[in-house]
């Protein structure tokens, strides 16, 4: 059993992570602006409050840092950079000062730069996109995640803490199922929240997703994975929710197809994601178990 602080524990992803950790017997504390439902120790306030973060980090064996403005629409550019980047720096600095050895930070596939139109998206240079692909974020949210990864790497280079950055794609909560079905039923006329969901269906141009219980398992695994200071991993389901095969869809949207370095992947699984999940599978020991394409019955008419 370990003592683990989860920032953003009151949110949907944070709550799923808390449940996963408690299931495995860990002693969990949460830091968030509001208490969540879990019966754990809570530190209530903003992650930019250094005194609060110091108090929350004290005595912890590890920290899972999820708290953030969660997307490009959740704040102004200035707010996204200030809260996400300064907040992450403070969590890492507090962890180092408290003697916390492992910090897992929630990054995003947005670091690649091909997720939301508002960011003047840049297409992938090659497929599948692995962790060595250049990070080319063009929107404030994606930029905040690039800076957070660099902050984590900087702290790891100091030698006192180990940092794992997980890059989940769109986390598809059950509350979003109506939106996902509505988009799949009429992609050309779909508009955000038309099915009454909390937000619009996400996942970028390829409609990527990861189910929250799968994502939570990856965060738990990241607590123990062997790393040399700093490592990053993409987190995604093994397929997309798009109506077209992945390569066909990308070629239609772009008017060309980037270099495909592993064509066999898409021959064996036409709906495979744009991201290379090999590192997560082989090093982190993570592979998504929940197939929402099947759960949502998206292939019933194919």
Q: What is the 3-state secondary structure (H, E, C) of 28-92?
A: EEEEECCCCCCCCEEEECCCCCHHHHHHHHCCCCEEEECCCCCCCCCCCHHHHHHHHHHHHHHHH
Instruction: Report which DSSP code applies to 135.
Output: P
Q: For the chain, give every domain's residue range.
A: 3-174+210-238+275-289
Per annotation, catalytic residue among 141, 266, 271, 275: 141
* The domain defined by 3-174+210-238+275-289 carries CATH number 3.40.50.720: yes
| 173 a catalytic residue | no
| 10 CB-contact burial (10 Å; exposed 0-12 / middle 13-18 / buried 19+) | buried
In angstroms, the CA 7 to CA 29 distance is 8
Pairing of strands 3-7, 27-32: parallel
pLDDT at 302: 46
pLDDT at 301: 52
pLDDT at 279: 98
Return the sign of the alpha-carbon dihedral for residues 21, 24, 25, 26: negative
In angstroms, the CA 223 to CA 225 distance is 6
pLDDT at 300: 64
Name the strand (E) or helix (H) holding 107.
Answer: none
Nearest to 1 by CA among 31, 22, 29: 22
pTM of the model: 0.96
Q: What is the per-residue burial (b if ≥16 Cβ within 10 Å, else e) of 101-119?
A: ebbbbbbbbbbbbbbbeeb
Q: What is the DSSP string of 249-282?
A: HHHHHHSS--EES-HHHHHH-TT--SB--HHIII
Nearest to 236 by CA among 272, 198, 184, 190: 272
pLDDT at 113: 94
pLDDT along the chain (302 residues), means of 10: 96 97 98 95 94 98 96 92 96 98 98 85 96 96 97 97 98 96 94 92 95 98 97 98 97 97 98 98 98 85 49
Rg of the chain's alpha carbons, rounded to an integer? 19
């Amino acid at each position: 059993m370990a003592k683990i602080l989860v920032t953003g524990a009151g949110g949907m992803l944070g709550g799923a992570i808390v449940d996963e950790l408690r299931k495995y017997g860990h002693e969990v504390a949460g830091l968030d602006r509001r208490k969540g439902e879990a019966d754990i120790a809570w530190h209530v306030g903003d992650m930019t409050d250094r005194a609060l973060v110091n108090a929350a980090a004290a005595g912890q064996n590890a920290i899972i840092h999820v708290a953030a403005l969660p997307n490009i629409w959740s704040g102004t550019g200035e707010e996204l950079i200030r809260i996400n980047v300064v907040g992450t720096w403070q969590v890492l600095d507090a962890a180092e000062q408290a003697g916390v050895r492992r910090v897992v930070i929630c990054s995003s596939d947005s670091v690649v730069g091909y997720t939301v139109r508002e960011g003047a998206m840049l297409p992938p240079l090659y497929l599948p996109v692995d962790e060595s692909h250049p990070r080319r974020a063009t929107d404030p949210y994606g930029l905040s995640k690039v800076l957070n990864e660099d902050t984590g790497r900087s702290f790891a280079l100091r030698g006192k803490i180990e940092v794992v950055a997980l890059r989940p794609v769109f986390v598809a909560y059950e509350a979003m199922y109506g939106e996902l079905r509505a988009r799949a039923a009429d992609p050309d006329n779909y508009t955000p929240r038309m099915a009454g969901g909390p937000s619009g269906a996400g996942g970028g141009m390829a409609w990527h997703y990861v189910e929250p219980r799968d994502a939570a398992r990856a965060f738990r695994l990241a607590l123990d994975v062997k790393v040399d200071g700093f490592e990053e991993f993409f987190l995604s389901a093994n397929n997309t929710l798009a109506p077209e095969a992945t390569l066909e869809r990308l070629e239609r949207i772009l008017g060309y197809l980037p270099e495909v370095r592993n064509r066999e992947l898409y021959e064996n699984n036409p709906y495979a994601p744009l991201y290379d999940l090999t590192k997560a599978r082989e090093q982190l020991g993570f592979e998504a178990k929940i197939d929402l394409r099947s759960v949502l019955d998206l292939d019933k008419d194919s």
